[in-house]
Amino acid sequence: MRFTSEQRLDDGVLEREFTLGEIPGILWTPGSASASAPAPLILLGHPGGLNKMYPRLVGRARHSAAEGFASATIELPGGGDRPRSAAAEQARADLRRALEAGEPVSEDIVDRLVLPLVEKAVPEWQTTLDALLSLPEIGGPIGYSGGVIAIGVRLAVVEPRVAAAVLFAGSFVPRVMFEEARQVTIPLHVLLQWDDEGNDRQLALDLFDAFGSKEKTLNANMGGHTGVPQFAGEAAARFFTRHLS
């Protein structure tokens, strides 16, 4: 991991851009984080396109820093300036075509779109975790927060260092991943935007039902895909405070 820039935000949060091989990422640590008091870490998921997502990501990171948490994110495979795969581009084009035609999105399209992304992204998150945990100012436990929800599900199953997750039910989930959802046992806080037109509400409810976790909360609100109310963000933050502090 190589840090490429560093700036101190006005609330004392240290923001550092890094690259991990070809993967760009950002790490935010609270002003209070030090080698003697390493901060728990929240991995910030997003739909890809770090630059576009930056304003919302830094907002979430600053909020978490106020609770004493470090946050980190990396660009998704095929996101931002990272190389695109022809298969993923084809799946994305097929998805766009289906949506524009008002057709239901077939399971085949979802599988082709999401499964390769999960296969590639999860090991990258794990490598990132290795690198971040080698820093003295970062400690455990680890949380995952956000979308792509299928990436969060896979991480929750295969990565024992992830102790709790806030999952944003706002993206397509391959049906085959329901089996994996049953294997999730960590505490979950699932955010669902009830009237998110681009999201399959019933599928999100089925997925919530499938999770094997003894503690799982579904927090559904109004306001569309990007309109998560402030109080719902605060409830998600409290979930992490409960489980990672």
Residues that bind a copy of itself (CB under 8 A): 192, 194, 205, 208-209, 213-222, 229, 231-232, 235, 238-239, 242
**Closest distance of CB 58 from a copy of itself, Å:** 25
Please count the other Cβ atoms lying within 10 Å of the Cβ belonging to residue 51: 11
Output the DSSP codes for 78-91: TSTTSPPPHHHHHH
- Cβ 72 to a copy of itself shortest distance, Å: 26
The least CB distance from residue 207 to a copy of itself, in Å, is 13
Least spacing, CB of residue 192 vs a copy of itself, in Å = 8
Identify whether the C-beta of residue 151 lies closer than 8 Å to the C-beta of residue 115. Answer: no
CA 188 vs CA 3, 106, 124, 202: distances in Å:
32, 28, 22, 18
CB of 210 to a copy of itself, least distance (A): 12
Smallest CA-to-CA distance from 78 within 151, 143, 146 is with 151
Contact 198, 226 (CB under 8 A): no
C-beta of 183: minimal distance to a copy of itself in Å? 17
- CB nearer to a copy of itself: pick between 52 and 238: 238
What minimum distance in Å lies between the beta carbon of 129 and a copy of itself? 27
Please say which residue, 66 or 218, places its beta carbon nearer to a copy of itself.
218
Q: Give the nearer residue to a copy of itself in terms of CB position, either 125 or 208.
A: 208
Output 69 or 208, the one with its CB closest to a copy of itself: 208
- Residue number, 142 or 236, with CB nearest to a copy of itself: 236
Which two tokens mark 111? 């599988």
Q: Does residue 141 have a cis bond before it (omega within 30 degrees)? A: yes
What does the DSSP 8-state code read for residue 225? T
**Closer of 91 and 192 to a copy of itself (Cβ):** 192
Show the DSSP H helices in the chain as ranges: 50-66, 86-100, 107-133, 149-158, 177-183, 201-210, 230-244
Nearer to a copy of itself, 84 or 242 (CB): 242
Pick from 60, 54, 69, 116: nearest CA to 88: 116
Residue linked to tokens 């990436």: 151
